[in-house]
Amino acid sequence: MPDSSPPTVCPYSKGCPLYPMFSMESVLHMWMALYCEADFSRCERYLLRTSGAQVPPSMMPNGKNLSDYPGIKTGK
Ligand code: SF4
């Protein structure tokens, strides 16, 4: 019987351009646990991409820019 439950992991999680921006895996995993593997329907990146709009690479799931978090080390 096919699984009809809604997906719990974001369909864009494979190759999400945000992932390589983090140099610390623990920080990335925290964001993933909050959005990508939980409630991705509230991710601003997901919503923009689903609407067909361009998604700034450094936009965080909450809509802020990665540069708004100077404590987060980036991979780029
Ligand atoms: S950051 Fe947003 S768009 Fe990217 S995988 Fe996570 S939930 Fe999906």
pLDDT above 90: residue 56: yes
Q: Is the pLDDT of residue 22 over 60?
A: yes
According to DSSP, the residues that pair with 59 across neighbouring strands are 65
Q: What's the gap in Å between 8 CA and the centre of ligand 1?
A: 12
Task: Render pLDDT for 33-42 as a digit per residue (tens, 0 to 9).
Answer: 999 999 999 9
Q: Which residues contact 38 (CB under 8 A, 6 or more apart)?
A: 8
Number of Cβ within 10 Å of residue 30's Cβ equals: 12
Share of the chain above pLDDT 70, in %: 93
76 alpha carbon – ligand 1 mean position (Å): 18
Pocket of ligand 1 (CB under 6 A): 10, 12-13, 16, 18, 35-36, 40, 43, 45-46, 61
Ligand 1 center–CA 26 separation, angstroms: 16
| Domain residue ranges in the chain | 19-68
